[in-house]
Homo-oligomer: A and B are copies of this chain.
Amino acid sequence: MHKINDYTKSREYFIRAEKVIPSGIYGHQGPAEGCYIPIEAFPLFSERAQGSYIWDVDGNKFIDYMCAYGPNILGYNDPDVDEAAAKQRKKGDCTTLPSTKMIELAELLVDTVASADWAFFAKNGNDVTTLAIMTARAYTKRKKIIFFKGYYHGVSPWTQKIDYSGIIEEDIVNNIYLDWNDFQAVEEAFEKYKGQIAAVIGQPYMHGNFMDNQMPEKDFWQKVRKICTDNDTVLVIDDVRAGFRMDIAGSDHYFGFEADLICFCKALANGYNVSALCGKEFLKNTVSGMSYTGSYWLSAVPFAAAIACINKMKKINCPKILIEKGKMLKDGLIASANKYGYDLHVTGIESLFYLRIANDPSLMLHQEWIAECVKRGVFFTNHHNHFINASLTEKDIKQTVEIADEAFSVIKNRHS
């Protein structure tokens, strides 16, 4: 049997945190959002991280399949990325003029990403999804945006839901919500709102939370691409989460089409704080005409880190090895589940897998299994996709499957 974690210090720190921070920890990482159920199975504060592992404040070690919700793609504290960043830091980071690292990074993205003729840098995925929508509106002089239900494109008011706190009707009045993979609905929307649709925005496949992830149906993106082109509508791909985990040339390239605008963040610099909007030549002047900037957007250290990260990802063929590692884990987990009579659904690309025990529609059984994994040192979450990083070893994967197996046996015994 594997050791069961104790989280005493995490709880003590959380009591301190709640006094001075709204909800103690906000966002996905917080206990409020529903990724960490039951909360007693999860640690709340980290002490350190290295490669594929995090250690919490109680000294528990985890094989980390959340990878900081994406940024960790090469392994925490990757020596090549950290060295490039440290070298730049000695020269300067956030200064009055940009470093030429900005140019080098833009050139590298143009060389690497199929649909990139240029790059614009910011700090969050949200910054660049918002710039994409503003660019589409400026270019087309139209207002309406097509979304696919289950989407997540950041936290700006235009992309939130009307029943979310702080959102007003004006924020979302031009949004059209369609079902994923329903091209007929796309056609009908283009017909109904003829000449009014500024943009279609979508993730490369549906990797929403609380749902099995869904790949695009055959030719779905090709048909969406064509209807956008025919109607002078801007096609925006939000590759913030999947970027560099499917295809180094962009997830649109993986599916054989080209976006007009593509948004990157997370894996771009292995955790250094930078995001990028890339796009086609015909939109470059429109972006040049925008009023869009931020205090730290030209910081040189994250640019140096991103250059090192992209070069290393290309060198090791990162998406391919992440998918192979993910495949090995998926096979192991499914085989283990079968031993106990559980139907484990593993959906999405293997480097970005989503887990669900399908035997129990209430998801309680699934949550129990995840909890038993986490308590034994495998950091999964319940209703969010997971992330593979390049430093994950075959030994880590074997240990993960062993722990998952023990967790299956625990819930099997509990419910027999």
Residue A162 interfacial (CB < 8 Å): no
The answer to whether B68 and A95 touch across the interface, beta carbons within 8 angstroms, is yes
The answer to whether B98 and A25 touch across the interface, beta carbons within 8 angstroms, is yes
List the 5 closest pairs (A to B, CB-CB), nearest first: A27-B293, A134-B166, A49-B92, A94-B271, A22-B287
Residue A17 interfacial (CB < 8 Å): yes
Residue of B nearest to A284 (CB): B22
- A70-105 residues with Cβ-Cβ distance < 8 A to B are 70-72, 76-77, 82, 89-100, 102-103
Of the listed residues A94, A95, A240, the one surrounded by the most CB atoms of chain B closer than 10 A to its CB is A95
Chain B residues, CB < 8 A from A95: 46, 49, 54, 64, 68, 72, 76, 271
Residue A156 interfacial (CB < 8 Å): yes
Given A13-B100, A96-B46, are A27 and B298 also a contact pair (CB < 8 Å)?
Answer: yes
Q: How far is the CA of A132 from the CA of B326 in the complex (A)?
A: 41
Given A57-B100, A119-B21, are A295 and B71 also a contact pair (CB < 8 Å)?
Answer: yes
Given A107-B20, A286-B165, are A29 and B294 also a contact pair (CB < 8 Å)?
Answer: no
Residue A157 interfacial (CB < 8 Å): yes
- A258-305 residues with Cβ-Cβ distance < 8 A to B are 265-266, 271-273, 275, 284-300, 302
Q: How far is the CA of A252 from the CA of B158 in the complex (A)?
A: 31
Q: How far is the CA of A62 from the CA of B141 in the complex (A)?
A: 43
Partner of A155 from the list B56, B92, B293 (CB cut-off 8 Å) is B293
Residue A401 interfacial (CB < 8 Å): no
- A22-39 residues with Cβ-Cβ distance < 8 A to B are 22-23, 25-29, 32
Residues of A that sit less than 8 Å from B by CB: 13, 16-17, 19-23, 25-29, 32, 43-50, 54, 56-57, 64, 66-72, 76-77, 82, 89-100, 102-103, 106-107, 109-110, 117-120, 123-127, 130, 133-135, 137-138, 143, 154-158, 160, 164-168, 170-171, 173-174, 240, 265-266, 271-273, 275, 284-300, 302, 379
The answer to whether B118 and A22 touch across the interface, beta carbons within 8 angstroms, is yes
The answer to whether B29 and A240 touch across the interface, beta carbons within 8 angstroms, is no
Contacts A22-B120, A95-B271 known; 19 new A-B pairs at CB < 8 A: A19-B118, A20-B117, A21-B119, A22-B290, A29-B293, A45-B100, A46-B300, A49-B92, A49-B95, A49-B96, A68-B94, A71-B94, A72-B95, A76-B95, A133-B166, A164-B290, A165-B291, A166-B290, A273-B273
The answer to whether A46 and B99 touch across the interface, beta carbons within 8 angstroms, is yes
Q: How far is the CA of A164 from the CA of B134 in the complex (A)?
A: 10
Q: How far is the CA of A416 from the CA of B170 in the complex (A)?
A: 57
Chain B residues, CB < 8 A from A143: 168, 170
